[in-house]
């Protein structure tokens, strides 16, 4: 359905929760190396333990490899999520197969990624100004469910 891309994730439980999100929504989770953990990490496995067999997870050596793989899959839109954007994630019309790109905690996506020519648009999830950021797995869930909602929760029961 959709592609969730974690650029250089560092916190195992967030990625474990994203594995669960992938399974529940039918999305593919793409992990861009280097990872801040080993995929066999106990915390990662605990967070997504019941869902590993149901999730679609792909690991890519770097951003260009991930973007090439997404292009090979026919992905046309790549939305980068950042607190530096002015456009809200709810202002976009998502199509099946779109990719949602998230950066690592606590730094977020670096400028070289935000300004990559393959990035379609920069989006933000509104939050109160006195709070640093939304948890990575929660941000991915909020965005993925909005994209899925716009498409009638296709494939859900």
Which parts are annotated binding residues for S-adenosyl-L-methionine? 103, 125, 133
Can you name the residues that pair with 78 across neighbouring β-strands?
99
- Starting from the edge strand earliest in sequence, which strands make up the sheet with 56-60, in order? 56-60, 28-32, 3-7, 99-102, 78-81, 121-123
In Å, how far are 8, 18, 33, 76, 91 from 62, measured between CA atoms?
9, 19, 5, 19, 29
Contact between 28 and 60 under an 8 Å Cβ cutoff? The reply is no
Binding residues: 103, 125, 133
Give CA separation, 73 vs 69, 95, 131, in Å. Answer: 6, 14, 37
Which 8-state DSSP code applies to residue 50?
G
């Amino acid at each position: 359905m959709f592609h969730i891309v974690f650029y250089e994730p560092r916190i195992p439980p967030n990625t474990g929760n994203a594995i669960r999100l992938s399974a529940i929504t039918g999305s593919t989770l793409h992990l861009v190396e280097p990872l801040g953990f080993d995929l066999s990490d106990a915390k990662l496995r605990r967070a997504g333990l019941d869902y590993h067999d149901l999730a679609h997870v792909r690991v890519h050596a770097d951003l260009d490899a991930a973007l090439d793989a997404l292009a090979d899959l026919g992905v046309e839109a790549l939305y980068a999520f950042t607190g530096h954007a002015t456009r809200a994630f709810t202002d976009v019309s998502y199509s099946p197969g779109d990719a949602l790109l998230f950066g690592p905690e606590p730094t977020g996506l670096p400028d070289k990624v935000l300004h990559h020519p393959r990035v379609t648009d920069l989006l933000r999830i509104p939050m109160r100004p006195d709070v640093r950021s939304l948890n990575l797995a929660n941000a991915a869930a909020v965005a993925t469910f909005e994209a899925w909602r716009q498409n009638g929760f296709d494939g859900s029961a």
